[in-house]
Amino acid sequence: MKKTVLVSGGAGFIGSHVTVELIQAGYDVVVADNFSNCDRTCFEGVKRITGKEDIPLEVMDFCDMEAVKALFQKYPIDAVIHFAAYKAVGESVAQPLKYYKNNLTSFLNVLEAAQEKGSFVLFSSSATVYGEPDSVPVTEATPRKPATSPYGNTKTICEDILRDTVKASEGKLKGILLRYFNPIGAHPSALIGELPRGVPNNLVPFITQTAIGKRECLSIFGNDYPTPDGTCLRDYIDIVDLAKAHVFAVSRMVEGKMKQDCEVFNVGTGRPVSVLELVNAFEKVNGVKLNYKFAPRRAGDVTAIWADPTLANTEMGWKATRTVEETLKAAWAWEKHLAGK
């Protein structure tokens, strides 16, 4: 029988790509979103890519417990993937209560409902939990560091909440934590991608918006880091590769392949790329010249972090396959699609 997966925040950047991959892998998917930080563009794109017009969509807020309960009663949810959260680092520093209230309440509600129904839970965590690591690459056993922003702290706290709840449930609740490195790119169809509101915080949307002429100049934050070219090193993971990791994780849960009741996997490529390398690769692969300048370091940035993805490779059978060049091509195609070019 087909399994049903609830994707909270399923109309957003990561959620929409995950929905596509789940549907293509044969799952029934219920998308739930309050559209607080996205519009209908990606949900419509998901329907076009999958050719599935009748994907259930529930417009709701996961902070509303009654609505969450009703959702779990309406559908036979085997697993839930929780994305519904605020994600702007800077805003979280300015408005911590907004972040703690929303990101923790929604996750607590999901967990309570999932526990009652016996659904598996997959939480979208982040490499941010490692802070500035003492050595790289980081494995799942690398100690976590205190978060440098309330946003990052909500990831750390939600990891702990899931772990504690799973432990106390004595086998009734099981979950997986996926720690994402830097998700970038767009679907190769150019029908879904990242749609940041206002000025982008993240590097790749800033690059594509500069290339298309929406932004005048990209600032590269810091060229005096102790790295080969002086700019920060990150592990940029293609959004479709990242989405596929969720399919592996869900099948691991619903097909009874988990080895522990709460498992953690890094989702990265294992390949460090500097900001400057990424900028150069974007220019080269897309044949565009990018207006950029070096600017002071951005507060809170870590110098270098990349994943050791061995555990996800060997245990889940998932591996990142797309090159940075392919990913940057897709990101540019999406930006051009948005501009109607």
Instruction: Confirm or reject binding of residue 156 to ligand UFG (CB under 6 A).
Output: no
CB of 52 to ligand UFG, least distance (A): 29
What is the CA angle 73-76-81, rounded to 5?
A: 95
Q: Is 331 in the site for ligand UFG (CB under 6 A)?
A: no
Residue 86 is a catalytic residue: no
Amino acid at 301: D
**Residue of the chain from 14, 89, 195, 264 that contacts ligand UFG (CB under 6 A):** 89
Query: CB 118 → ligand UFG: shortest distance, Å?
Result: 31
Among 101, 298, 319, 337, binds ligand UFG (CB under 6 A): 298
User: Tokens 């294992």 appear where?
Assistant: 270
Q: Please report whether residue 202 would count as binding ligand UFG according to CB under 6 A.
A: yes
Task: Show the beta-strand stretches assigned E in the chain.
Answer: 4-8, 28-33, 57-59, 79-82, 120-126, 175-180, 182-184, 218-221, 233-234, 236-238, 262-267, 273-274, 292-295
Amino acid at 123: F
- Residue 95 Cα distances to 38, 87, 149, 178, 300, angstroms: 20, 12, 11, 26, 16
User: Does 301 interact with ligand UFG (rule: CB under 6 A)?
Assistant: yes
Q: Which residues contact residue 118 at a Cβ distance below 8 angstroms, ignoring those fewer than 6 apart? A: 172, 173
What is the pattern of x (binds ligand UFG, CB under 6 A) and - over residues 208-227?
A: ----------xxxx------
Q: Does 186 bind ligand UFG (CB under 6 A)?
A: no
Lay out the site mask for ligand UFG across 259-288 (x = CB under 6 A, - = otherwise).
----------------x-------------
Residues taking part in catalysis: 151
Q: Which residues bind ligand UFG (CB under 6 A)?
A: 89, 126, 128, 151-152, 182, 201-203, 206, 218-221, 232, 234, 275, 298, 300-301
